[in-house]
Structure 1
Amino acid sequence: MGGLAGEQVLDVIGVGIGPFNLGLAALLEKTECRSLFLDRNKQFNWHPGMLLEGTTLQVPFMADTVTMVDPTSRFSFLNYLHEHNRLYRFYFFEKFHIPRTEYNHYCQWVAGQLPQLQFGCEVENIEQTEEGYYRVTVFSHREEKRNTYYTKHIVMGIGTRPHVPEKFQSALGDRVFHSAQYMGKRESILPTSSITVIGSGQSAAEIFHDLLGKQPDHAYTLRWFTRSKGFYPMEYSKLGLEHFSPDYTQYFYRLPKEKKNDVLRNQALLYKGISFQTIADIYDLLYERTVGNSVPNVHLQALTELVSIEGWNNQYTLSLYQREQEKNKQLESDVVILATGYQPYIPDCLKGIQHLLEWDEAGQLVIQEDYKVQLNKEGHNHLFIQNGELHTHGVGAPDLGLGALRNATIINQLAGKEIYQTYKNSVFQQFGL
């Protein structure tokens, strides 16, 4: 597997351009690292199916691509506002949680200033050469040709993908779909007679609230079911938020492996659940709709699991199970929206080096504290992971507020010296003895 003669070897290739690898590219500006970032999509777009009007980030604006390790960076959100003549408007806006659409536009602004980003380029295969470098085969949809690149290191930033339980996958189509597709499907489903939302998290709540607001202009029945114990809020107390800190990540990483799964199960409401504001908005709208004892055509029910979806004549029969009563029920629905979350996955392009990667007994990658995947052979060239380390690093893995810190940790290794300071003792509480 030679073939390096005359070929430039890059320092790092980033696979996938979401917020985390976008931040890595921006922060690399203060290094001499030669980099390339590849994404199969035509442009940066952050969860386009959930860019609903009125929705906000669930973290403060400082969780941008750079601020938490380099607040003076030209890629900060505050500089974005300055460049767009919006500083005074934001000053009077007086909110830490910015519109989701503005965060997406901010990321597109950052991406537009980084020439090492290449969109419309799909990474097909990654192999290791005899010299220990990585050979990356890429298909450019724009040029309609394959290119080969060589690099010392790779950073996987593909994130997670929509998860639909296997038992519902055969029903997927124009009227049964994951919440990630909502904005693209919304106009086509509004004329239907019944819509059912499944799920307990923020996406389910936002879609339900959006449909509730549009219901008076249409005639659909609107239902919302979750198997969770209730429509509960996400934990958002200030001491609770300290779990999304470098200190907690370090504490969690050092826990015994068998303990970590139990801890994560008990922490669901730290990163799942619904924001207090969204719950309040739904309740207030329902209250207004019931003035004069009007009865809205709405049904909300927790502790109720969707068991199966059967399609017939463009209508679906849903089988439901109430877990406390241990009773079954069936109902008809024209549309089913599955807000069933996201899961990490191993992309096909890693098959060429799959034999080099260490896996645990649950089939998950073994990831070191500094975000390198454990390899089964010695070498100086590494594969890093972004937002694929929930099982090793804890609830902060998908959190935007820790993305810059993880990137700083990765960049310091790529550069072989400390480019960015990483924090310790950054919270008030202690997590262990």
Structure 2
Amino acid sequence: MSRVYDMVGVGIGPFNLSLAALADPVDDLSVAFLDAKPEFSWHHGLLIDGTTLQVPFLADLVTLIDPTSRWSFLSYLREHDRLFPFYFAENFHISRREYDHYCRWVADSLPSCRFGRQVTAVRWDAEGEVFHVDAEDVHTAQRETLTARNVVLGVGTEPTVPQPVRGLLGKEVFHASEYLDRQESLRGAEDVTVIGSGQSGAEVALDLLRAQESAGWRVRWLTRSPAFAPMEYSKLGLEHFTPDYTRYFRTLPQETRDRVVPAQWQLYKASSATTLAAIHEVLYERSIGRDELDVELMPNVAVTGAQQVDGGVELACRHTEQERDFAVRTDRVVLATGYSPNRPQCLEPLSGVIDWDAHGRYQVDDDYRVVLDPAVSGDVYVQNAEMHSHGVGAPDLGLGAHRAAVILNAVSGRQTYSLPQRGAFTTFGVV
């Protein structure tokens, strides 16, 4: 009889990697995690020099649940003989490159993480009361099937491409997630347009501005948001990224949740004040002795259409406050338009037993368990696909270890990890 795992994870991003790290010392729990990529990679196209995480280094894979874990960021520093340099650097927010390297170290060290395995299907076996996870080796095409009592989906999100430009993806138009990989296609461009004012948009705009004098391009930054606004980063504002707020959000009717999340855009869709200040500093210094700059920053702009013209792109735009239409001719378009959850193709065999909500989303309980047909005795959990049910903290690295611990406790049927009872001073609702 084939081995039956307690838990098989599909996808190895930071969140399932956190789950794997916290599961590692639990001797009586058998786990495996599969990913099609040849090795761990986190936003490779956005590891721009000088960019940092928007959360403190304590928001690593394990520390906020188990600071004694061998897989903490401080353990990584010790392993790489970097503790003293880090101590003297006094960096509370580490670089994206170092976070990626830290995660690679954990992923390469955990035997439960298997890369180069494309999961093709997740099937429920009613007779055996287990899930079968079919996978294929991306190099040899050899197939294997893992059997599990529980499955955790950590497939992450996919780049969001606005409808008007979907047919133009290629050399001239690409998502910011590919920014560093597309550097060659930027060569020779005289006009580059960035669309979107989240953190990725700000980082790309800053990088383009810093290279502007040597590259010779005009830089344009457009957003439909009302302003190039900073991320909410006040101490009490950050308490929206605590288990306390998640518990409160869970008490709200779904209709209210769907109304609240978009209104909280500055909690998760804006840019850091530091990056915006760096952009302003570049513009200020460059404006000395000049009447004009080859730079345009414009909020309240919606892109309503696009077409390829003479090796470039023409964007049909509308200023949403003035209600005026205008056109933009540019050579390259970088789409910093965010990410959204996707329904993985491998889940198709289970689609009939998943209790989807009216919008085609997972219905998720307090333990991040997907609501399934009662006839299915196994459980499917999701990570970073539940903003609609758990609030703005779903994609935040700071809550990753907590969510992983909740899932581990549910899978093991006991308190494998103790969870904090209070993490905020704010009282979010009436008791």
Normalised by the length of structure 2, the TM-score is 0.98
Q: Specify which of 88, 91, 94 is matched with residue 95 of structure 1.
A: 91
Determine the C-alpha separation between the residues in 2 that align with 1:152 and 1:331: 54
Determine the C-alpha separation between the residues in 2 that align with 1:247 and 1:330: 46
Residues 1:36 and 2:32 are matched in the alignment: yes
Residues 1:49 and 2:53 are matched in the alignment: no
Determine the C-alpha separation between the residues in 2 that align with 1:124 and 1:261: 32
Residues 1:141 and 2:130 are matched in the alignment: no
Q: Which deviations, in whole Å up to 9, do the C-alpha atoms of 1:61-93 show, x marking residues without a partner?
A: 011000010000000000111111111111111
Determine the C-alpha separation between the residues in 1 that align with 2:187 and 2:421: 50
Residues 1:18 and 2:36 are matched in the alignment: no
**Residues 190 and 220, structure 1, Cα contact 8 Å, conserved in 2:** no
Counterpart of 1:168 in 2: which secondary structure?
Answer: helix
Counterpart of 2:317 in 1: which secondary structure?
Answer: strand
Determine the C-alpha separation between the residues in 1 that align with 2:352 and 2:141: 30
Change (3 A) 1:59 1:141: same
Residues 1:391 and 2:391 are matched in the alignment: no
Q: CA RMSD in A?
A: 1.0
Residues 1:112 and 2:108 are matched in the alignment: yes
- 1:143-158 pair list within 5 angstroms: 143-158=140-155
Normalised by the length of structure 1, the TM-score is 0.97
Residues 1:188 and 2:185 are matched in the alignment: yes
**Count of aligned residue pairs for this structure pair:** 428
Residues 1:172 and 2:169 are matched in the alignment: yes
* Residue identity matched to 1:289: R
Q: Which ranges of structure 2 fall in alignment gaps of 5 or more residues?
A: none
**Equivalent residue number for residue 219 of structure 1:** 216
Structure 1, 369-378 or 383-392: larger mean CA deviation: 369-378
Determine the C-alpha separation between the residues in 2 that align with 1:378 and 1:309: 48
Per-residue deviation, 1:29 = 1.5
* Residue identity matched to 1:16: G
Residues 1:202 and 2:193 are matched in the alignment: no
- 1:152-301 pair list within 5 angstroms: 152-301=149-298
Residues 1:125 and 2:121 are matched in the alignment: yes
Q: Which deviations, in whole Å up to 9, do the C-alpha atoms of 1:255-291 show, x marking residues without a partner?
A: 1111101111211111110100000000000000011
Residues 1:415 and 2:403 are matched in the alignment: no
Per-residue deviation, 1:188 = 2.6
Per-residue deviation, 1:167 = 2.3
**Equivalent residue number for residue 3 of structure 2:** 8
Counterpart of 1:54 in 2: which secondary structure?
Answer: coil
Determine the C-alpha separation between the residues in 2 that align with 1:70 and 1:425: 16
Determine the C-alpha separation between the residues in 2 that align with 1:377 and 1:228: 43
**Equivalent residue number for residue 3 of structure 1:** none
**Residues 197 and 224, structure 1, Cα contact 8 Å, conserved in 2:** yes
* Residue identity matched to 2:182: K
Per-residue deviation, 1:110 = 0.4
Structure 1 segments, 4+ long, off by >4 Å, are: none
Determine the C-alpha separation between the residues in 1 that align with 2:6 and 2:215: 55
**Residues 13 and 153, structure 1, Cα contact 8 Å, conserved in 2:** yes
